[in-house]
Structure 1
């Protein structure tokens, strides 16, 4: 395996916007794949307003693969498909900006991208300048079409675009999509704003595609076949890397794609938020059922995601039972909130979960000697603590996660 050490000389700037909290938005890929159009983005922008997503904090509209023509222009520039985007990307960006939202676009650190449209390898400065001129606010930078470029390590190829984005002078969020290849949590934070920590998610709560490895440190990161539960499992090893400025991305959410029960969608959203993954919606927000809208706009869960401390929850093995119950916990610092505990039943039957608070790592330090209250977020009900300093959660259904937020009185 190659090794990579980034050494930036004095005065050299990198394209890092240093986001204090994980980004929130919507992407075309999970639902529409290559069928992206100007009208799709415009209708989504409208739905962001009418269905409460913008008010909840979602602000990026991301055009994924399929927006380009199959070849570059004679002068080398990437071109938007005129049939899909008749008014052009700059006009669309202006429309989106007028709604108080931001527009993102897609390219690849290879010769071609995933759909064999032109990638940006060797054209980094030209493409970055084009995106800036169009008014782009976000770049998702993929790794599908490396081919010959893959003789160069991912870190090197992704770094080149970082320099190019910085040279434009425009604040463009830089999101790497290298599927956890070469363990980016060791290097991507030096020149990006978020980075994918695994292969692609697919619309399944518990069932993985063929050959998917369930841990973070493996060569088969799970291309296009990682379930929600496996993505959570991989984060046992990675949550400690989360920090403001560079977020490990668990991929776009599958909430609203009619592939999960309501409880499973709640679990999906709870862990993406508490693990500080970017919250990128991957469903059709125009036609999404109201139950999924309510999950994605739950203010208490979003508050956990956007907490000022920016610390992800950690897996608590002493309180967990493999293939039955997972308990995670971590500190909070926004307002009066001081700690969050997630208790997931991923077994085969309804169960009771007992949480002795003395065994929750970091809880006593976060609370100190202050009086506190506990609320279970999804039921919006207060939770009592026994005289033995234990919380007893009864009747936790299969696929359900109880989210307990501890707040000072």
Structure 2
């Protein structure tokens, strides 16, 4: 009889537990309310690769403030690969003691004291791309460690991930971050292999759509077992993805190469197009020692405002004529951004009749109707007013450059 009662008690407990839900079920979703506009900041990789240490990062944080980058909207100071030391006997990761002798908590405190936020890097595999300890099997420990350091942003790479699938691996780190209890932006750096745009919006705030960028306008850099792509090659790879982007979830065509060796006009075109497609603006140059031309590009608040528009609509290619592409981006309040991109090696004339047709964005349903509404024009690079849509636009776009305008909806 006692055995029967015990059996019923066990069954009753099991039924109760089942009805209440499994307490060990993970929450594989991201924190809500982060990155409602594309993240802006700086990352160490494009310029410094593995040559990172705490003095460099402090100097960059100082320069972020003194250069006016912070005032322009740049928030995150992100340390990429190679900061890692070893794991201790319990499996917890520690920074390289020679490169970061003060520890990451002290460095995060320093960055926070500047009114900035700190990002860090790890990898879903056993090792990072630079051969440091990856997070595979240590996801929850690493998330707890990052939270204790005061980290605000995690770039999570995809090297050495044999046997893993992207969606599952990134859900695991998302659950770990949630359990750690500190809101962090999760940058899914999976290179577009597992189509992260189809699942990433519930897991992270941004996802890489391609492999690595390279600091040339339109080329492919062959690295043997893999290749990197120039700016225009990366831009072409964004086709068909705009419907997946929006507040809190962004397509990421990789970090900026502005100031890393291209001509000023090419940097300007690069920056303009990243803003037109609502890309994260993560600078990758040495902001401690940048030219006036580079600073003027990165800090152009009127162009940045196109990227940071609260509506969060990714722009699109509207038409192509010869070497000139016309791109459009609907903005909040009925405004529009238009960018004429000249991919050719010779200057091209632009002749655009605003009244020739009504333009409707099929995604946002925004309408540009210059037949019924007069828009004022603002040249975003000269920062000068440029007439209205009452008259056709006639201008010229230099080679590998842009003509970028904002159309203001007059009430």
In the alignment, what sits opposite 1:244?
Answer: 247
- Say if 1:59 and 1:29 are closer, same or farther in 2 by CA, change over 3 A: same
Question: Which one of 132, 150, 153 corresponds to residue 117 of structure 1?
Answer: 132
- Say if 1:360 and 1:98 are closer, same or farther in 2 by CA, change over 3 A: farther
In the alignment, what sits opposite 2:12?
Answer: none
The answer to whether residue 304 in structure 2 is matched with residue 302 in structure 1 is yes
Question: Which one of 173, 176, 181 corresponds to residue 188 of structure 2?
Answer: 176
**Mapped contact 1:337–1:405 kept (Cα < 8 A):** no
The answer to whether residue 84 in structure 2 is matched with residue 68 in structure 1 is yes
Give the match's secondary structure for 2:327: strand
- Say if 1:113 and 1:342 are closer, same or farther in 2 by CA, change over 3 A: same
In the alignment, what sits opposite 1:83?
Answer: 98
Deviation at 1:87, TM superposition (A): 0.3
In the alignment, what sits opposite 1:399?
Answer: 400
- Say if 1:240 and 1:356 are closer, same or farther in 2 by CA, change over 3 A: farther
In the alignment, what sits opposite 1:235?
Answer: 238
How far apart in 1 are the matches of 2:69 and 2:189?
24
In the alignment, what sits opposite 1:5?
Answer: none
Normalising by structure 1, what TM-score? 0.88
The answer to whether residue 113 in structure 2 is matched with residue 98 in structure 1 is yes
In the alignment, what sits opposite 1:254?
Answer: 257
How far apart in 2 are the matches of 1:302 and 1:74?
46
Give the match's secondary structure for 2:134: coil
CA offsets 1:158-195 (integer angstroms, 9 cap, x no match): 11000000111111110010111122111111211100
How far apart in 2 are the matches of 1:248 and 1:275?
9
Mapping of residues 375-394 of structure 1, within 5 Å? 375-384=378-387, 390-393=392-395
Unmatched 5+ residue regions in structure 1? 1-8, 213-221
Bigger mean CA deviation after superposition, 336-345 or 196-205: 336-345
**Of the two, which has the highest radius of gyration?**
2
Aligned residues: 380
**Mapped contact 1:16–1:245 kept (Cα < 8 A):** no
How far apart in 2 are the matches of 1:329 and 1:229?
17
In the alignment, what sits opposite 1:197?
Answer: 209
**Mapped contact 1:68–1:78 kept (Cα < 8 A):** yes
Deviation at 1:370, TM superposition (A): 4.0
Normalising by structure 2, what TM-score? 0.88
In the alignment, what sits opposite 1:136?
Answer: 151
The answer to whether residue 17 in structure 2 is matched with residue 20 in structure 1 is no
**Mapped contact 1:242–1:312 kept (Cα < 8 A):** yes
Give the match's secondary structure for 1:229: helix
Unmatched 5+ residue regions in structure 2? 1-23
In the alignment, what sits opposite 2:360?
Answer: 362
How far apart in 1 are the matches of 2:220 and 2:164?
30
How far apart in 1 are the matches of 2:275 and 2:304?
7
How far apart in 2 are the matches of 1:396 and 1:289?
23
How far apart in 2 are the matches of 1:17 and 1:100?
22
How far apart in 1 are the matches of 2:26 and 2:157?
28
**Mapped contact 1:331–1:338 kept (Cα < 8 A):** yes
In the alignment, what sits opposite 2:17?
Answer: none
In the alignment, what sits opposite 1:291?
Answer: 293
In the alignment, what sits opposite 1:3?
Answer: none
Question: Which one of 262, 270, 273 corresponds to residue 268 of structure 1?
Answer: 270
How far apart in 1 are the matches of 2:231 and 2:334?
27
Give the match's secondary structure for 2:262: coil
How far apart in 2 are the matches of 1:261 and 1:38?
31
